[in-house]
Chains A and B, each alone.
Chain A
């Protein structure tokens, strides 16, 4: 079984400040890792994913996340946030070897960017 812990339920920051949203996971098998974003009244959208290769992955809107196997973490970072980044962010994992492909999500982190 897998579990995901997002260490901060709410993160308020000022515009143009850097931000880090923390995610730790637990799994007895190898996993793929994901960050999803949910804007108000919208569905979940994939922000970025780690499948293999370089442990640093980037999104098109400036977010990046680094897979750290020894610390079982996949923290999300952005060097300078915008008001439009205000949303709820979910970290998720999926077993590599199971064809079922169910996602296990964390409880979410509400990022609020203030002017």
Chain B
């Protein structure tokens, strides 16, 4: 198993454009999480899925953000009408189960909005 993968690793976009990121979790992990990390800060929770169900969303996830996990495997995070404040590292993590299971993080997608 190669771990959690994210694509692309870097994305530069102009303000107002839409972007989509993909996360492939470790196979058979039923939980998938998205976090956002801005420069000099720790990661902040955005949302999480158990299988294909999106069970929790942070207040940080404005209506311009949408996440999906259609078949309970990979997930996509879309940002519509990007703003400069969206520039950050977007991290994906997966875990096998709930409380006692470690969240494994991917390398992240760095978004720069110009």
B10 to chain A, nearest CB (A): 11
- CB-CB under 8 A from B58, the residues of chain A are 102
Identify which of A92, A99, A106, A108 contacts B98 (C-beta below 8 A): A99
Q: Range of interface residues on chain A?
A: 20 to 34
Q: Contact at A105–B102, with CB atoms within 8 Å?
A: no
Tell me whether A43 and B56 are in contact in the complex, defined as CB-CB below 8 angstroms, given that A51-B100, A102-B48 are known contacts. Answer: no
Interface size on B, residues (CB 8 A): 27
Q: Contact at A90–B45, with CB atoms within 8 Å?
A: no
Q: Contact at A96–B44, with CB atoms within 8 Å?
A: no
Interface residue? B85 (CB, 8 A): no
A6 to B41, CA, bound (A): 11
Q: Contact at B99–A103, with CB atoms within 8 Å?
A: no
Closest residue of chain A to B107 (Cβ to Cβ) is A43
Interface residue? B31 (CB, 8 A): yes
- CB-CB under 8 A from B42, the residues of chain A are 4, 6, 90, 92, 105-108
Q: Contact at A43–B105, with CB atoms within 8 Å?
A: yes
- CB-CB under 8 A from B105, the residues of chain A are 36, 43-45
Tell me whether A107 and B4 are in contact in the complex, defined as CB-CB below 8 angstroms, given that A43-B106, A100-B48, A101-B31 are known contacts. Answer: no
A49 to chain B, nearest CB (A): 7
- CB-CB under 8 A from A94, the residues of chain B are 99
- CB-CB under 8 A from A44, the residues of chain B are 43, 91, 93, 105
A35 to B40, CA, bound (A): 17
Q: Contact at A107–B41, with CB atoms within 8 Å?
A: yes
Q: Contact at A43–B45, with CB atoms within 8 Å?
A: no
A41 to B55, CA, bound (A): 30
B33 to chain A, nearest CB (A): 7
Closest residue of chain B to A105 (Cβ to Cβ) is B42
Which residues of B, 24-79, contact A by the 8 Å Cβ criterion? 31, 33, 35, 40-45, 48, 55-56, 58
Interface residue? A32 (CB, 8 A): yes
Known: A6-B42, A108-B40. 7 other contacts (CB 8 A): A9-B40, A43-B107, A44-B43, A44-B105, A105-B42, A107-B40, A108-B41
**3 closest residue pairs by CB, A with B:** A105-B42, A44-B105, A43-B105
